[in-house]
């Protein structure tokens, strides 16, 4: 992403359709489901339901400096993103469901690899994300079409080989209709993903399924389809907002209100909204009783012109099972975990854990305070949001 501000995406009144603006081989130890079918026999043998944790983190934004760091960490032979992400290994692997945002698409196995403005990342990032415990990643972003059809094919293929699930872009119409369903606590968790636009790059003619664009009517329809496929919890990942603006913009607030207000048979269609794109941490807020994370910031990025671009929060929600058959899973605990990206070498830093070791580190202390202030600025603390580690 550019450090420059985006022009805002405009939406029609009827559908708020996004206009385009600037800007596996591994097997999971966490059970998962693809087709989401719920036959009577399957329901009879379903595991006992128990609370589960869902963790989401911000953009994996593979700038040229991040590529160089991965090369150095591999000793000059290949690309190793593990050391940059290693500080989050315990956090991610301990979650029952862990979701990342893969902002950039991949180049060919041997390169060339590029950073901004049109990204082609080393595919090794998929394996690194899977290795620290991510189950699934959203892939709908303003950079999804940076390398055209080939970029989408390469990215999703590499994620498949790494055993990393994905949603938000697709290689075919049939794939776009598949549901990304993960299983935790006896619940089926559906992840959906959409972006506000693709930086002016048109979606290829005849392939509207290649990347999901934000349209509230479609999001609700997809959420209802996921419910019919057996989803107990529906999580929506949205790539949206105004770059470098900490306050959620009108688009974010409008879409959040519309999709969280949607119900079917008295039950909410969407249970959680998690946002990416703005580069900076944004607030958490309950909207129509649903937690909305407007923006988590960049989990991993190179040196930015604005130092806030290296601040982020991870979002962790504990879901409790319904008290009666057919009831809704509910969030019993909501947490944010402040993060920072250190430079030279580039490393992700879990700030609460880092400050236990370095309590007097002034950069860490200032960063944590700034993130906490932004995250809580829309009253999330009154609704029970706390800081985790």
Express each pLDDT in 295-322 by its tens digit.
999 999 998 889 999 999 999 999 999 9
Considering the entire predicted model, what is its pTM? 0.88
Summarize pLDDT for 129-187 with one digit per residue, the tens: 999 999 999 999 999 999 999 999 999 999 999 999 999 999 999 999 999 999 999 99
- For the chain, helix (H) and strand (E) counts, in that order, are 11, 18
pLDDT class of 47 with cuts at 50, 70, 90:
low
Identify any residues that bridge with 238 across adjacent strands, giving them in sequence order: 194, 275
DSSP letter at 195? Answer: E
DSSP letter at 179? Answer: -
Domain ranges of the chain: 32-387
Choose among 49, 121, 55: nearest CA to 92: 55
Both structure tokens of 256: 């959040």
Would you say residue 113 has pLDDT above 50? yes
pLDDT class of 19 with cuts at 50, 70, 90:
very low
What's the CATH architecture for 32-387? 4-Layer Sandwich (3.60)
pLDDT at 38: 38
Would you say residue 20 has pLDDT above 50? no
Summarize pLDDT for 315-365 with one digit per residue, the tens: 999 999 998 888 899 999 999 999 999 999 999 999 999 999 999 999 999
- Collect all residues with Cβ–Cβ distance below 8 Å to 156 and sequence separation of at least 6: 139, 166, 169, 170, 171, 175
Of the listed ranges 14-18, 75-79, 125-129, 312-316, the one predicted with least confidence: 14-18
Of the listed ranges 32-41, 59-68, 101-110, 209-218, the one predicted with least confidence: 32-41
């Amino acid at each position: 992403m550019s450090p420059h501000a985006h022009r805002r995406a405009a939406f029609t009144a009827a559908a708020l359709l996004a206009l385009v603006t600037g800007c596996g081989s591994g097997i999971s130890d966490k059970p998962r489901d693809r087709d989401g079918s719920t036959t009577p026999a399957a329901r009879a043998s379903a595991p006992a339901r128990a609370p589960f944790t869902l963790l989401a983190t911000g953009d994996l934004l593979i700038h040229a400096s991040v590529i160089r760091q991965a090369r150095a960490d591999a000793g000059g032979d290949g690309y190793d993103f593990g050391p940059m992400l290693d500080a989050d290994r315990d956090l991610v692997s301990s979650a029952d469901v862990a979701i990342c945002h893969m902002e950039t698409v991949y180049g060919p196995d041997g390169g060339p690899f590029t950073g901004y403005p049109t990204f082609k990342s080393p595919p090794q990032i998929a394996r690194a994300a899977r290795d620290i415990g991510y189950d699934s990643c959203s892939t709908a972003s303003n950079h999804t079409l940076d390398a055209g059809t080939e970029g989408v094919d390469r990215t999703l293929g590499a994620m498949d080989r790494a055993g990393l699930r994905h949603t938000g872009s697709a290689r075919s119409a049939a794939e776009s209709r598949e549901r990304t369903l993960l299983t935790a606590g006896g619940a089926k968790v559906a992840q959906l993903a959409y972006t506000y636009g693709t930086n002016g790059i048109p979606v290829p003619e005849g392939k509207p399924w290649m990347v999901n664009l934000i349209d509230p009517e479609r999001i609700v329809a997809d959420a209802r389809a996921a419910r019919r496929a057996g989803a107990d919890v529906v999580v929506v990942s949205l790539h949206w907002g105004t770059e470098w603006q900490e306050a959620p913009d009108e688009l974010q607030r409008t879409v959040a209100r519309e999709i969280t207000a949607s119900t079917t048979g008295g039950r909410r269609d969407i249970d959680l909204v998690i946002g990416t794109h703005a580069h900076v941490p944004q607030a958490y807020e309950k909207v129509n009783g649903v937690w909305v994370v407007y923006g988590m910031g960049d989990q991993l990025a190179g040196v930015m012109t604005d130092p806030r671009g290296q601040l982020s929060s991870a979002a962790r929600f504990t879901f409790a099972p319904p008290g009666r058959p057919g009831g809704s899973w509910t969030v019993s605990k909501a947490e944010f975990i402040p993060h920072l990206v250190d430079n030279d070498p580039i490393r992700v830093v879990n700030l609460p854990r880092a400050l236990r070791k370095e309590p007097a580190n002034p950069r860490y202390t200032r960063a944590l305070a700034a993130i906490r202030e932004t995250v809580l600025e829309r009253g999330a603390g009154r609704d029970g949001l706390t800081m985790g580690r």
